[in-house]
Amino acid sequence: MQQINEARLLSVKVIAGHTWHLKIIVLWPPAGEQIPGHVLPVFIGHPHESGVVLKKYPLWNYEPIHQVMDIAVSTVNDEVVLDWLRRLSPGDTVYFMNPEKVWAWEEEAAAYYLIGDVNALPFLYELSRELPFSKPSHSLIYAEVAGLFFPDVDRSYPFNYEVVYPYSAGKVVDCFKLNFTKAIPGSIVYLAGDELINQEFIRFFKEEWHFTEKQLKVATFVS
């Protein structure tokens, strides 16, 4: 059985639409550990409570000197999580399991495409910090309304953010095609969003840009 870890809550607040920002002090990971590509399984309540729920959220940022971690939590259609967040106060204990790796970033790519929705936004922010400055990177973060977007922990907006309405998988891919008309050979694509939209992008990249399975890194985030 995996170890249940504890963290102390430093702050909790709404940052956009249905997204809350939790800042916690943790003992994991040790100094120097890379965290891009991980999700954190968090207990919504005390782990020994009857019926407690375990939710997985993308790791947003980790500052190893003070062991402070940032997590973004979505509350879409989830009253249990929303009620838990409203009851949290600085100093409370947050319980979580060991982080789980979703993907590894590729150092050898000629270029990078980061594509996802707002649920995956912190995940992509963290990943982008590890990409080599010498290689071009391109992005598309999509949402139905502008109020769902939020900046990185340093308050910057480093990506290309697009409101897509009416919202559908086909419309999101069409938006990408308007922004990026030609493939860069040897690129790696990171897809982090709704499963149906991920699948539509996979079809596009394979059929129209002739990318291989190895060039497509996929993570599905559900709210």
Is 67:27 a contact under the CB 8 Å cutoff? yes
Task: State the Cα–Cα distance between residues 31 and 9, nearest whole angstrom.
Answer: 20
pLDDT on residue 3: 82
pLDDT, tens only, 52-94: 999 999 889 988 889 999 999 999 889 999 999 999 999 999 9
Is 194:117 a contact under the CB 8 Å cutoff? yes
Is 157:24 a contact under the CB 8 Å cutoff? no
**Could you tell me the sign of the dihedral formed by the alpha carbons of 141, 191, 198, 175, in that order?**
positive
pLDDT on residue 99: 87
pLDDT on residue 32: 46
Q: What is the pLDDT along the chain (223 residues), one digit of tens a residue?
A: 578 999 999 999 999 999 999 999 987 665 445 567 788 999 999 999 998 999 999 889 988 889 999 999 999 889 999 999 999 999 999 999 988 888 766 668 999 999 999 999 999 999 898 888 889 999 999 999 999 999 999 999 999 999 999 999 999 999 999 999 888 999 999 999 889 999 999 999 999 999 999 999 998 765 4
pLDDT on residue 222: 57
